[in-house]
Amino acid sequence: MFIERRINPSNGNVELWQCQWENSGSQAAKKVYLQKICDEQPVDRDAEGGLSEEAAICWAYGRTLGNIAVVSPSLLGHFPGKVGNDALLPCDFAHAGKFRHGAERLWCRTHQTHWGTKADIEALAQHGVMRCANHTQLMNYVVAPLTINVTEYAEVGIWCSMPAALSTQDIKPRPPKIHVHVREKTGDRKKIDQDFSAISTLYSSGLGLFASDEITRVNITPPAAFDFVRAIETNREMSCINCSSCGYPHLDLADFADTPHRKHFCGNCGRDSTWSKEPIISTPLKPLHDAFAKTLNYETPDRTLDLDSYAGCDFAVWASTPAIVWTAARPQEFGIHVHVHNGQSRIVDDTFDTVVYHGKPLERSTLIASMIARTIV
């Protein structure tokens, strides 16, 4: 058996059919359409089917996913709670050309794998359900995530939050989070100052961030944020290329974000026919970052802190990292960020050029390496 595409003349829909060849012996083999599987889902539509529809963000670590620049906040799937790592999402298939031997090939946008192998077709015949090989994969998720319309506030800062590099407390490795600062007016106290599992940012389609005007939000997920910061820290060339087949903005993650490259495999349509002019790491976070940056300058604060003078206090130290979104007119501070607590009171919360510990200045490069090493992705 194999899968073929077929146009329904009554409505123009492209259908996917289970087929086989019949050979009567003396006559040429004839293709027989046995059973309709489903209508082919076009690349520019949201997934259909599933258990419930929620305003949610989902992500998986270590894979390239094409769903952080989105047209809708809703996802279909099974979400046991408000935040977790055990969401199940239905397959969402798009046509992805043919295998080398000529058989039709589909791409599951949800689970990022091709469908149409002999094992896939046998599983379809056995279970009567078209599912990709990764359909049982559990996803990380946030239901009803924080959504920020970047243009509505005087200052918005969004960073990738990583474990501390140095602390008097035990530092446990953890996945990255998204840290958000929001000020309604310049100089006011922060309305938001905390970590989130993932967030969604809104913007006007008139900014022209992407080829499709329908995309008006970018979901900032932990793996995308982490690889964005790593690329800046290591001075890797970043941009955002649109797929030559479906036009979707491309996201490189994990191994694909380690080395700039020219050939890009689309996570939205499963094709690898997109080439950038120069080797790049592609991420939709790059145009988001550039569009709202009033300044791309950094300044090193003229401040020094001697941690040895805070005997008996608890502290945590981070290398300050570049923001994913920074809308303030003033430059970002580049240095070493420190929290010092005296009991329950935070008595130091600032960024410094020089931080002394045990009589020696800390090296920012060593601190950022420790933070990255403790981050689970």
pLDDT tens for each residue of 264-317: 999 888 898 899 999 999 999 999 999 999 888 899 999 999 999 999 999 999
- Within a domain: residue 351? no
Model confidence over 257-277: pLDDT tens digits? 999 999 999 988 889 889 999
CA dihedral 107, 110, 112, 118 (to 10 degrees): -50
Six token digits for residue 163:
């474990």
* Model pLDDT, residue 51: 59
- Within a domain: residue 9? yes
Cβ distance 324 to 160 under 8 Å? yes
Model confidence over 189-245: pLDDT tens digits? 999 999 999 999 998 777 888 887 788 899 999 999 999 999 999 999 999 999 998
pLDDT band, residue 50 (cuts 50/70/90): very low
pLDDT band, residue 46 (cuts 50/70/90): very low
Mind giving me the DSSP string for 1-69?
A: -EEEEEE-TTT--EEEEEEEEE--SSSPPEEEEEEEEEEPPPTTS----SSEEEEEEEE-TTS--S-SE
- Within a domain: residue 31? yes
Six token digits for residue 345:
């009171």
* Rounded Cα–Cα distance for residues 114 and 313 (Å): 55
CA dihedral 83, 85, 88, 92 (to 10 degrees): 90
The domain of 15 spans 2-39
- Within a domain: residue 49? no
Element (H, E) at 370: helix 364-373
- Within a domain: residue 19? yes
SS3 state at 266: coil
**What's the pTM value of the predicted model, to 2 decimals?**
0.85
- Within a domain: residue 15? yes
Of these ranges, 27-41, 61-75, 206-220, 240-254, the one predicted with the greatest mean pLDDT is 240-254
Give the percent of the chain with pLDDT over 70.
91
> What are the phi and psi torsion angles at 134 (to 5°)?
-105, 20
Model confidence over 235-249: pLDDT tens digits? 999 999 999 988 889
Q: Where are the alpha helices (DSSP H) in 214-256?
A: 222-233
What is the crossing angle of helices 222-233 and 285-292, to 10°? 70
- Within a domain: residue 169? no
* Model pLDDT, residue 5: 64
- Within a domain: residue 34? yes
Total of domains in the chain: 1
Mind giving me the DSSP string for 298-315?
A: EE----EEEGGGSTT-EE
